[in-house]
Amino acid sequence: MDVKRLMLGVSALVLLIGFLLLGFTAGGVFNKIVPTSWKPYPSNLVYHPERAYIDLAQPGPTIGLILIGVGAIGLIYVYASKSREGVR
């Protein structure tokens, strides 16, 4: 079994899962939580760019960032590791 290929695949999978969690969970890049006031009329539903952010208090984006870091470290390790003689 080729351990480098296994580590490469697992690291790439962890990286992909991290990007998906960061992007699509509540508070992520594509699913932003924009606070609105409690007034019943629609004139208060104005887009406030200072309130649209990645909410790191939510577990999804936080875990996504952690998984992106772990996957990137794994990919760097696989890229930087040297093969022994006779081993791919």
For position 14, what pLDDT does the model report? 97
Q: Which amino acid is at 68?
A: I
For residue range 25-65, what is the model confidence (pLDDT) as tens digits? Answer: 988 888 776 555 544 545 555 655 455 567 778 888 899 99
Contacts of 34 (CB under 8 A, 6+ apart): 47, 48, 51, 52
For position 82, what pLDDT does the model report? 76
| DSSP code at position 44 | G
Contacts of 41 (CB under 8 A, 6+ apart): none
For residue range 5-17, what is the model confidence (pLDDT) as tens digits? Answer: 999 999 999 999 9
Please state the pTM of the whole predicted model: 0.72
Better-predicted residue by pLDDT, 44 or 80: 80
Q: Where are the domains of the chain?
A: 3-33+47-80
